[in-house]
Amino acid sequence: MAKQWLAQGFPVGIPTETVYGLAANIFDAKAIASVYEAKRRPSFNPLIVHLRDVAAIGDMAVWDGLSNTLATAFMPGPFTLLLPKKDNVPDMVTAGSTKVAVRVPSHPLVGSLLRMTGFPLAAPSANPSGYVSPTSAKHVLDGLGGRIPYILDGGPCQVGLESTIVEVIDRSIVLHREGAIDRAAIEAATGIAPMLKSGTEVHAPGQTKSHYATATPLLKGDVAALMASMGAESNFAIITFYREYPHWAGSRQFRLSPGGKLEEAAQNLFATLRRVDAMGFDYILVEDFPDQGIGIAINDRLERARHEHKIG
Ligand code: TXA
Ligand code: MG
């Protein structure tokens, strides 16, 4: 079914190991326009091209040796490379940029879909622009149901956070978005410590504030201190890594991984944010995560979701 809808030029919700995507044939301008339209995504924000294997990247983009080393180490998987694009990649997909973001997802369902369709799939995360990314088919339905004809259900996403995005510039590695493939893994594979993108050049427009945001104001920091700063009558919930606050109602606290596993916390993060967001609290208070492994990416997403609003 997913294959037929895609071949007919409709956008389709697809599972990947990171988050669900909203996919369309990269060569079908109308289908790509429907992706932007369904998400209400600004047309200047480019889409990642999903390919069946690493060999297919050469049809879309120009390789360099270091990017190739990175691809060999991390693809298929939760990893995206920004490369100079070839002429056959439509400008609409890259929003006019001369670079294209390419990714080879490891989820078996999207792998077989890519082999069956025969064309690459441009896919942003399948959420209305600005909201929390979806990690289940139900999340896609909640956000985009009625705007898209079909969602391929591949179960809950294994990773739960969007892919790591990197770009090789000269002989250095620029990290545009933190993800499951962390800095340490990149350095171990290449011998080069990645540099965090400087704030001066916006290579990835999605990397601005007000992304991944809940409707409920989200505050991040030391949860005990934040709780102490809240007014007596304020109605809030807390989200923690593994800690329990025995003096706080169990129905208002959510632990992402009672066993203290960062991978599990990442898997549960977006589903928990969505669930708590729907419960009508005035505030969501979230703990700082350890700055290691995927904890770095968890903190990154929460920093982007947090509201600038300060408690007086
Ligand atoms: O894990 C993922 O990467 C998921 C799944 C569905 O593959 N996709 C995803 O797509 O997170 P999206 O569109 O939500 O985020 C992609 C980010 C955006 O910040 C976008 O601006 C950036 O990648 N991006 C895509 N193409 C680009 C390009 N040609 N140049 C610079 N940035 C690009
Ligand atoms: Mg997104």
Tens of pLDDT, residues 6-32: 999 999 999 999 999 999 999 999 999
pLDDT at 308 (0 to 100): 58
* Averaged pLDDT of the chain: 94
Question: Would you say the CB of residue 21 lies under 6 angstroms from ligand 1?
Answer: yes
> 101 CA to middle of ligand 1, Å?
7
pLDDT grade, residue 207 (50/70/90)? low
Q: Is the pLDDT of residue 276 over 90?
A: yes
Q: How far is the CA of 221 from the centre of ligand 2 (A)?
A: 24
108 three-class SS: helix
Ligand nearest to the CA of 130: 2
Pocket flag, ligand 1, residue 273 (CB < 6 Å): no
Instruction: Strand 253-255: give its sheet, edge to edge.
Output: 218-221, 283-287, 236-240, 253-255
CB distance 302 to ligand 1 below 6 Å:
no
Measured in Å, residue 5 CA sits from the centre of ligand 1 at 23
Instruction: Average the pLDDT over 265-277 and give the result.
Output: 98
Q: How far is the CA of 131 from the centre of ligand 2 (A)?
A: 8
Nearest CA to ligand 1 atom 13: 124
Residue type, 124: P
Give the whole-number percent of the chain exceeding pLDDT 70: 94
pLDDT at position 231:
86
Spatial strand order of the sheet with 99-103 comes to 150-151, 12-14, 21-25, 121-122, 49-50, 99-103, 79-84, 164-169, 172-177, 195-196
* Rg, the chain, Cα only: 19
For residue 230 and ligand 1, the question of a CB distance below 6 A is answered with no
Q: Which of residues 285 and 308 earns the better pLDDT score?
A: 285
Supply the pLDDT for residue 232: 82
The angle that helices 295-305 and 262-277 make with each other, rounded to 10 degrees, is 20
Q: Using most ligand atoms within 8 A of CB, pick from 48, 52, 158, 167 the residue to mutate for ligand 1.
A: 48
Encode pLDDT of 35-93 as tens digits.
999 999 999 999 999 999 999 999 999 999 999 999 999 999 999 999 999 999 999 99
Q: What b-and-e string marks burial along 118-149, b requiring 16 or more CB atoms within 10 Å of the CB?
A: ebbbbbbbbbebebbbbbbbbbbbebbeeebe
Q: Identify the pLDDT of residue 204.
A: 52
Q: What is the pLDDT of residue 210?
A: 58
Between 117-121, 160-164, 285-289, 304-308, the lowest mean confidence (pLDDT) is in: 304-308
Please determine, for residue 203, whether its predicted confidence score (pLDDT) is greater than 80.
no
Name the burial class of residue 173, with classes exposed (0-12), middle (13-18) and buried (19+) by CB atoms within 10 angstroms of its CB. buried
- How far is Cα 95 from Cα 77, in angstroms, rounded to an integer? 24
Per-residue confidence at 184, pLDDT binned at 50, 70, 90?
very high
- For the segment 134-162, the average pLDDT, to the nearest whole number, is 98
Residue 310 predicted with pLDDT over 90 = no
In this prediction, residue 227 carries a pLDDT of 95
| Residue 167 confidence (pLDDT) | 98
The model's pTM is: 0.95
